[in-house]
């Protein structure tokens, strides 16, 4: 069987093709799956989608009309998939429930250190032979407070690194993680976490109750010199409220690997064009804001695990089996989602 995969990055392609070798043919495309590109999938029973794919009802209808019966998403979050529409169309939808938590946690720490020590500005300066230290002063993190919202695998890995830095740990989640508690993490209401943390990092899924978790109220509660890192999902942060906060001269650093409207620009080279997203343009204009293009999970280990899970989802679909990664199985939603 030939499978078409959308949103395949150059470095991801050989990993994907090796994993499917001897099983199925894979047609790798670098374009994002959306309403404009969905017709390309005509005639393909199985479609693999990247993290920025638009899998709303209209796109799913186009895919189903062209013969697609299975979506194998190479990502964890499924907020951009209309699962009920997929079920109504009799489709199957699989995702990747987990992969290396260290990839994301380590990258989140890279972002935090970069904005704390002004590495982006320093690098730009030295390229132009400007070696002044003006405006590059950072802060020691030892003895300061790290606030971790979401203490699953990734939050735990982030907390372990913070513990190594000698930081005080505050956590917020539906349930305490014993391994985080063993590091000395105190679980507190999110309002207290926002007010006390010097470094705040987001590792919760994007669902209705976490949409705009960091809103105007949360931002107002933060210390003026706090650092905010989001390597989770763009919708966790109210970007308009964040811009207001930055314009008011608050927060010493913000690092975003994700962005609410990232599907319109991330994972593509838009450098020849005028950036049409005024919000993103304003964000990137602040010298103490670092925006990267959803690359936290882009390590050899994490991508390898994502691809392995994708292959397993495809094989289980073809064998009429189900697994924990299946969000919809041949038109059937799990009982909890109905």
Are the C-beta atoms of 42 and 67 separated by less than 8 Å? yes
The pLDDT of residue 246 is: 98
DSSP state of 208: T
* Domain region containing 128: 101-291
Are the C-beta atoms of 50 and 29 separated by less than 8 Å? no
**Alpha helices of 183-321 — where are they, by DSSP H?**
190-196, 216-221, 239-247, 278-285, 300-318
The pLDDT of residue 104 is: 97
24 lies in the same domain as 55: yes
319 lies in the same domain as 266: no
206 lies in the same domain as 229: yes
116 lies in the same domain as 256: yes
90 lies in the same domain as 213: no
* CATH code of the domain covering residue 275: 3.40.50.720
142 lies in the same domain as 71: no
228 lies in the same domain as 249: yes
pTM above 0.85, yes or no: yes
Residues of the chain scoring pLDDT < 50 = none
55 lies in the same domain as 176: no
Task: Kindly list the catalytic residues.
Answer: 233, 262, 294
Tell me how many domains the chain contains: 2
316 lies in the same domain as 215: no
The pLDDT of residue 314 is: 97
The pLDDT of residue 261 is: 84
The pLDDT of residue 214 is: 98
332 lies in the same domain as 262: no
* Residue among 235, 296, 304 at smallest CA distance from 101: 296
146 lies in the same domain as 278: yes
207 lies in the same domain as 329: no
The pLDDT of residue 273 is: 62
The pLDDT of residue 333 is: 85
What are all long-range contacts of 167-171, with beta carbons under 8 Å and residues at least 24 apart? 167/141, 167/142, 167/143, 167/199, 168/143, 168/144, 169/145, 170/145, 170/146, 170/196, 170/197, 171/147
Strand partners, 4: 27, 47
* Residue among 143, 281, 320, 162 at smallest CA distance from 229: 162
């Amino acid at each position: 069987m030939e499978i078409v995969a959308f949103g395949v990055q150059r470095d991801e392609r050989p990993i994907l093709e090796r994993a499917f070798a001897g099983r199925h043919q894979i047609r790798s495309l670098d374009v994002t799956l959306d309403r404009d590109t969905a017709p390309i999938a005509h005639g393909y029973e199985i479609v693999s989608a990247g993290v920025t794919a638009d899998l709303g009802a209209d796109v799913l209808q186009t895919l189903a009309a062209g013969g697609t019966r299975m979506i194998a998403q190479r990502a964890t979050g499924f907020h951009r998939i209309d699962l009920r529409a997929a079920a109504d169309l009799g489709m199957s939808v699989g995702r990747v429930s987990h992969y290396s938590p260290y990839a994301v946690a380590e990258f989140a720490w890279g972002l935090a250190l970069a904005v704390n020590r002004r590495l982006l500005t320093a690098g730009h300066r030295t390229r132009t032979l400007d070696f002044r230290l003006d405006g590059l002063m950072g802060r020691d993190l030892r003895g300061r407070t790290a606030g971790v919202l979401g203490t699953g695998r990734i939050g735990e890995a982030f907390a372990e690194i913070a513990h190594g830095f000698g930081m005080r740990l505050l956590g917020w989640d539906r349930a305490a993680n014993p391994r985080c508690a063993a590091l000395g993490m105190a679980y507190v209401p999110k309002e207290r976490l926002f007010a006390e943390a010097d470094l705040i990092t987001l590792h919760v899924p994007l669902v209705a109750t976490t949409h705009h978790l960091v809103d105007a109220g949360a931002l107002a509660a933060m210390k003026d010199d706090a650092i905010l890192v989001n390597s989770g999902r763009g919708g966790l942060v109210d970007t308009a409220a964040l811009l207001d906060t930055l314009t008011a001269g608050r927060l010493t650093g913000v690092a975003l690997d994700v962005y609410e409207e990232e599907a319109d620009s991330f994972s593509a080279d838009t450098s020849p064009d005028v950036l049409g997203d005024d919000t993103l343009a304003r964000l990137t204009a602040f010298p103490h804001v670092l925006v990267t293009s959803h690359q936290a999970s882009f390590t050899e280990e994490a991508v390898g695990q994502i691809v392995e899970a994708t292959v397993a989802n495809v094989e289980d679909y073809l064998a009429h089996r189900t697994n924990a990664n299946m969000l919809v199985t041949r038109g059937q939603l799990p009982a909890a989602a109905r």
